[in-house]
Amino acid sequence: MTSGRGVAARIEAIRAQGRAALIGYLPVGYPDVAGSVEAMRAMVEGGVDVVEAGLPYSDPLMDGPVIQRATQQALDNGARTRDAFTAIRGVVETGAPAVVMTYWNLIDRYGIDRFAAELAEAGGSGLITPDLLPDDADEWLAASERHDLDRIFLVAQTTTPERMRLTVESSRGFLYAASLMGVTGVRSVGAEARDLVARAREFATLPVCVGLGVRTAEQAADVGSYADGVIVGTAFVQALEAGGPPAVKELAQELSEGVRSVAPAGTA
């Protein structure tokens, strides 16, 4: 099941071109709101196909030190929930689809339907919820239906077959396959990711995208050979920290060349 404005159609169109999609993450408000929007647009200019706008959270248990440091600076600078909608508008103006990624408590506090309505109004495609299980997502599932938004849940190597089936059935847009357990960060993307994608495809008809670990064109090419999308976060934050939007664009170009160098399994 796909949303009218969802990312699945974009990813599937890219797959039809014979490659995987490149999905880039940056936190809203780092170094400030305007700067984060500029950096997200630079990702798109460099070849990123879908943007994840990370909404900063005070206790990001699943994020590594690089993202934690950036999100803390964003919070110190006064980043607020509604700034995510500013970022989304800035991205969709480029023609690229954008989703928000954040921890569920922020959405719950803001108001689930209110957040969904404002995200849709801003042109956002959906929401990635790393700490929300489908079992606990009835209100979000209903709100996403009302506002035609994608709902992107995570699976990992520890996900049981029954949990995998439930997560796939509840998801829309794409399935986020966490290639290594634990916090996000720059590291090797292991063989576990390939196995996880294969397991997910036993149940999934929607795209399966891999995140948590990709940082080089070679890694992007490897993951892109078996996944529908390659998700990069920490490496983009490091690039922004080191060299601003120009460095973000340069990294996007390198990673884009990687995903364009191989065809995903199953493509013609």
- Residue 59's CB: how many other CB atoms inside 10 A? 8
Residue 268: pLDDT above 60? no
Q: How far is CA 105 from CA 72, 171, 222, in A?
A: 17, 19, 35
What is the overall mean pLDDT for the chain? 91
Report yes or no on whether pTM surpasses 0.85: yes
pLDDT of amino acid 192: 83
pLDDT of residue 58: 73
- Indicate which residue of 38, 49, 52, 241 is catalytic: 52
% of residues, the chain, pLDDT over 70: 90
Distance, CA of 72 to CA of 255 (rounded, Å): 27
Q: Is 59 helix (H, G, I), strand (E, B) or coil?
A: coil
pLDDT tens, position by position, 23-47: 999 999 999 999 999 999 999 999 9
Bond into 31 cis (ω within 30): yes
Q: What is the pLDDT of residue 191?
A: 76
Query: 76 catalytic, yes or no?
Result: no
Instruction: Report the topology of domain 7-259.
Output: TIM Barrel (3.20.20)
More confidently predicted of 188 and 243? 243
Q: Would you give the distance in Å from CA 227 to the centre of its chain? A: 14
- Of residues 63, 83, 118, 228, which has the active-site annotation? 63
Tell how strand 208-211 and strand 229-232 pair up.
parallel
* Per-residue model confidence as pLDDT tens digits over 135-191: 999 999 999 999 999 999 999 989 999 999 999 999 999 999 987 644 455 455 567
| Per-residue pLDDT reduced to its tens digit, 44-82 | 999 999 999 999 987 666 667 788 888 999 989 999 999
For 153-174, letters b (16+ CB in 10 Å) and e give bbbbeebeeeebebbbebbbbb
- Let me know: does 74 contact 28? Beta carbons within 8 Å: yes
Contact 46, 250 (CB under 8 A): yes
Q: pLDDT at position 66, please?
A: 82
pLDDT of residue 1: 39
Where exactly are the structural domains of the chain? 7-259
Q: Is the pLDDT of residue 210 over 80?
A: yes
Active site (annotated) includes residue 118: no
